[in-house]
Amino acid sequence: MIEPLPQMIERGDKPKLSLVGATLTQPPVRPRQAPVVLHTRVVRGSGGGPDKTIFRSARYIDHTRLSLHAAYICPYGDPGTATLRSNAQRWGCPFWEVPESGPVDPRTAHRLLNLCKQLNVAIWHGHDYKSNALGIMLARHWPMKLVTTIHGWTWETVRTKLYYHVDNWCLQRYDHIIAVSPKHVEHCKRLGVQDERITYIPNAIEPNEYRFVDDHAAARRELGVWTDRLIIGTIGRFSIEKGVDRAIKTFAQLRTQYPNAELHLIGDGPQRAYLEALADQLEISQAVRFWGWQTQAQRFYEMMDVLLLPSHTEGLPNVVLEAMAMGVPVAATDVGGVSDLLDHGRCGVILSQDESTWPDRLSYLLDSARRRSQIARVARARIENRYTFTQRMAKVFSVYQQVMNDPLLPVAQPAPERMAA
């Protein structure tokens, strides 16, 4: 078990991290000390797509030339932190919990500064407005380069609108920005960020980990779903920006035309009670199934005929990458990098923000099993050619080389045995 950071700092202990049965003392002693990259992120709960990307990155690193750690700012006692820690251990990523009380805890900056000194951090890699702001603050007291990844923003409350403006202020002061979609690149340019400080690096996955094991029928039998149903699925957090209510409303319109269709919602979040009530109100609750949060989604992809992404805002959603790799046709709103990912409609259906058009657009997929199969094959090939994790990490390391002016930093060449886990 990884001990919380504050107790370690107060005692002055050297940090030790338990990594899947082995103990690793940091920092390791090497003739040329490997630069340390500290990924920092603020998370409540068990996290999401960005966390998969952060933790997995540790598997693609030559640790004699670069060291990667993750520091997560979480509320005290948040049960989701255990899941984050477990996922980090799975990928061999040293995980540091930085607990805080409330959105403004003055101890957070102190704890992170001590961590930067203990690890001898060379690159601070932020992933949200708060970690970006903390990076600017701490760089005044510890010499390190500042890199951030833009995953997207939400604007549903006054507070999140304020965060958006704070982040824009931060982006103009970072050494380098990684944007997960072309739209985010353009946003940075409008802020006045020079081209040489922006790199477009889409999210990615390891295609070999996302393959059909069985057919639809086998997956459905295992999950207790009728094999003759036409299954539309969504995967993600039940929060306002994800637009799951739009999926339910659209499905209600489709039920007359497709009486054997079902909507399966995989996820959880603050809107769950509202979404369940909405399904009851529209009299479709008998055909809508709530699965709750699932740690392993592959079996759910295997049961689907179509994945629906109804989000109001996204960066480049991992769920679409995973569905494409699993051979599941996708219908997704035109947000973030979705249009580029779906090759502007050649690898899936792109939905406008006009929800009245969604039933017809989804019918294009629902009407033809052959069409779904053809689109799935093209989408899988696009993932293999353009969105592998090795390709992504090579670009990320290139950014690190640029900001450090160090050509000796590694390239992304994961050992085969590392990828077998």
Structure tokens at 382: 């696009």
b/e for 304-331, b at 16 or more Cβ within 10 A? bbbbbbbbebbbbbbbbbbbbbbbbbbb
- In this predicted model, which residue has the larger pLDDT, 350 or 297? 350
Q: What is the pLDDT of residue 199?
A: 97
Average pLDDT over residues 377-382: 95
Q: Report the CATH fold assignment for 5-204+388-419.
A: Rossmann fold (3.40.50)
Q: How far apart are alpha carbons 113 and 141 in whole angstroms?
A: 8
- In this predicted model, which residue has the larger pLDDT, 9 or 299? 299
Q: State yes or no: pLDDT of 324 exceeds 90.
A: yes
Domain boundaries, the chain: 5-204+388-419, 207-386
Complete edge-to-edge strand list for the sheet that includes strand 306-309: 288-292, 261-266, 230-235, 306-309, 330-333, 349-351
Average pLDDT over residues 4-29: 40
Cα 260 off chain centre by: 33
Q: State yes or no: pLDDT of 396 exceeds 80.
A: yes
Q: State yes or no: pLDDT of 28 exceeds 50.
A: no
- Cis? peptide before 27, omega within 30° of 0: yes
pLDDT band, very low/low/confident/very high, at 407 (cuts 50, 70, 90): low
Q: What is the pLDDT of residue 156?
A: 61
Q: State yes or no: pLDDT of 31 exceeds 50.
A: no
Q: State yes or no: pLDDT of 47 exceeds 90.
A: no
Residue 346 carries which side chain, given as an amino acid letter? R
Query: What CA–CA distances, in Å, run from 163 to 128, 129, 139, 148, 154?
Result: 9, 6, 20, 15, 9
Q: State yes or no: pLDDT of 30 exceeds 70.
A: no
**DSSP class per residue in 346-366:** TTSEEE-S-GGGHHHHHHHHH
Structure tokens at 236: 């993600």
pLDDT in tens, 100-109: 988 789 899 9
DSSP state of 334: S
CB 315 within 8 A of CB 152: yes
Q: How far apart are alpha carbons 76 and 102 in whole angstroms?
A: 9
Which superfamily does CATH assign the domain made up of 207-386 to?
Glycogen Phosphorylase B; (3.40.50.2000)
| Identical topology for domains 5-204+388-419 and 207-386 | yes
Residue 18 carries which side chain, given as an amino acid letter? S
Q: How high does pLDDT run on average in the chain?
A: 87
Average pLDDT over residues 205-221: 84
Average pLDDT over residues 323-347: 95
pLDDT band, very low/low/confident/very high, at 238 (cuts 50, 70, 90): very high
pLDDT band, very low/low/confident/very high, at 157 (cuts 50, 70, 90): low
Query: With pLDDT > 90 as the criterion, what percentage of the chain qualifies?
Result: 70
CB 109 within 8 A of CB 134: yes
Q: What is the 3-state secondary structure (H, E, C) of 107-126?
A: HHHHHHHHHHHHHCEEEEEE
Residue 225 backbone dihedrals phi, psi, to 5 degrees: -115, 140
- In this predicted model, which residue has the larger pLDDT, 305 or 416? 305
pTM: 0.79
What contacts 24+ positions apart, CB below 8 Å, involve 137-140?
Answer: 137/109, 138/109, 138/112, 138/113
CA triple 203-245-81, angle to 5 deg = 50
pLDDT band, very low/low/confident/very high, at 421 (cuts 50, 70, 90): very low
**DSSP class per residue in 7-53:** HHHHHTPPPEEEETTEEEESSPP-SSPPPEEEEEEE-SSS--HHHHH
Q: What is the pLDDT of residue 243?
A: 96
DSSP state of 231: E
Q: State yes or no: pLDDT of 337 exceeds 50.
A: yes
pLDDT band, very low/low/confident/very high, at 338 (cuts 50, 70, 90): very high
